[in-house]
Amino acid sequence: MEMQLPPHEGSELSVVDMHTGGEPLRIILSGYPEVKGDSVLSKRRYVREHLDHLRRVLMYEPRGHYDMYGALIVDSELPEADLAVLFMHNEGYSTMCGHAVIALGRFAVDYKLVKEPKSPETQVNIHCPCGLVKAFVEYSEGKTGGVRFLSVPAFAFATDVTVTVEGFGEVTVDISYGGAFYAFVNAQRFGLDVSKSRTRDLVDAATAVTRAVKCQVKLDHPASDDLAFLYGTILTDGKDDYSSEPTANICVFAEAQVDRSPTGSGVTARVALQYHKGLIQLNQTRTFQSGATGSQFTGKAVEVSRFLFSCGIRVITSCSKSGKRQKCIL
């Protein structure tokens, strides 16, 4: 007996699902309407104001889930960029995403968005809303491997800031930027362990911190007001002094969304913070571990750079594995 499916109605969106360190990335191949704007930041505003229904289709159930993450490839105004990208999640649109950059590096080479890949590494210039990020993809005998990326300048915004957190009283946090702003606090302040405590308890504590910082601390970015918002809170194991042993953290961002990876932009921000405090030196590689999955990224500060009115550092973050899951039509 043959069954005939009803005619398809609505938009047809073609995507490829990948992951980096367990954190998903849904890359939209086709089906999106024209995204208007003369810059990546203006395109980000356009999709937020005019095409947000498609974000909900891709991120929410039944096609997605609460912790889904997405990437929409768009045109860049920068001649040196191989591609530009808009990031999306359960709340809206981010300005930077390191795990996505790692996956997009492999995607760009595998899907031939970069001409003539080279061994041992192929450079992929990815224009993110926060700026140009350079990914370096291992390439040998037609296959891609590990990926590292040189991020935009990162900087410590404020240290030892005291905020009043509902249910916890006064809490001291650090705030740092790695393409997005994060608040950092030792999980032990809440009697929690980033690798052993219940995820729900970690999420509740981090979310309470995020709400407090958003209400009580005014952020600003030297390049654009569009970048001046708190993306989330990262709870750490407190092991900030340099060590060859991994240090663990868990990132809760957007609308209480949990990152399965160590968080690429979060690692960048944490390296900048540790460098600012004199806990690590230039070119000292640290290993950062996800409290959720145990996956690891490495990161190091490679140079001091001055931009506009701030002083920042350039950070390289890398991951040895980024896996493809499946191609699907929504």
**109-155, pLDDT tens digit by residue?**
999 999 899 999 999 999 999 999 999 999 999 999 999 999 999 99
Residue in the structure block whose two tokens are 């009580």:
216
pLDDT of residue 138: 98
The mean pLDDT value of the chain amounts to 93
pLDDT of residue 12: 87
**272-315, pLDDT tens digit by residue?**
999 999 999 999 999 999 999 999 999 999 999 876 545 566 77
**68-95, pLDDT tens digit by residue?**
999 999 999 999 999 999 999 999 999 9
Residue 97 bears catalytic tag: yes
Task: Quickly state the pLDDT bin for 13 (edges 50, 70, 90).
Answer: very high
Domain 155-318 falls under CATH 1.10.287.610: no
Tell me which long-range contacts 69-72 makes (C-beta under 8 A, separation of at least 24): 69/23, 69/24, 69/25, 69/26, 69/97, 69/99, 69/100, 70/25, 70/26, 70/27, 70/28, 71/25, 71/26, 71/27, 71/28, 71/97, 71/100, 71/103, 71/104, 72/28, 72/32, 72/35, 72/47
Residues 24-43, mean pLDDT to the nearest whole number: 97
pLDDT of residue 316: 77
Same fold, 14-150+322-329 and 155-318: yes
Question: Of the residues 97, 130, 251, 319, which is catalytic?
Answer: 97
pLDDT of residue 312: 61
Domain residue ranges of the chain, discontinuous segments joined by +: 14-150+322-329, 155-318
CB 234 within 8 A of CB 184: yes
Domain 14-150+322-329 falls under CATH 3.40.50.360: no
